[in-house]
Amino acid sequence: GVIPVSGGSLTVSRLPGQENYLSVYANGILSQPLSKWSSSFAVSKIKSSVLEVSGKPKATAVPYIGKRLKKTPEKKSANKDCKAEIAFLIDGSYNIGQRRFNLQKNFIGKLALMLGIGNDGPQVGLVQASEHPKVEFYLRNFTTAKDVLFAIKEISFRGGNSNTGKDRKS
């Protein structure tokens, strides 16, 4: 990497954005590929105390080769000790974009598995915030985490302007 184990100084330079960014594997972490972004950055060593950059910036990431093991969250049965009713509001506007919209859906799906959705346990509902808000599903529509996961998977990105004030009136 650019920074040695003993520490040290470095320079971070702002660069123009690229059309796309590939997924890379570095330090035990696999990044997600990204589409066009407005700006980027490069990290390089400092040559001397005068703060000069030494040569070309060095990439610290190494392309990932091989198959990544996917960790499946543990499925729980209905949690009878938890009588919560939770309404989720997710942003489905163009401000958040498709990739981040999917991250929200994944988070809620994992949370539903951990909660143990069921008739005798917690219930969840979901509203998608956008120019035209939509109730995706109501509390008590689903009695298992599996059904909630399927419903979340089927939610499509609506786009449009943000209008969170309308969403709370739905």
pLDDT of residue 118: 80
Share of the chain above pLDDT 70, in %: 68
Q: For the purposes of burial, counting CB atoms within 10 Å of the CB of 105, is it exposed (0-12), middle (13-18) or buried (19 or more)?
A: buried
Condensed to tens digits (0 to 9), the pLDDT of residues 112-134 reads 888 888 887 788 999 998 888 89
The reply to whether the predicted model has a pTM over 0.85 is no
Condensed to tens digits (0 to 9), the pLDDT of residues 146-160 reads 899 999 999 999 888
Condensed to tens digits (0 to 9), the pLDDT of residues 5-31 reads 676 676 777 778 788 878 878 767 777
Pairing type for strands 123-129 and 85-91 reads parallel
Q: Say if CB 43 and CB 1 are below 8 A apart.
A: no
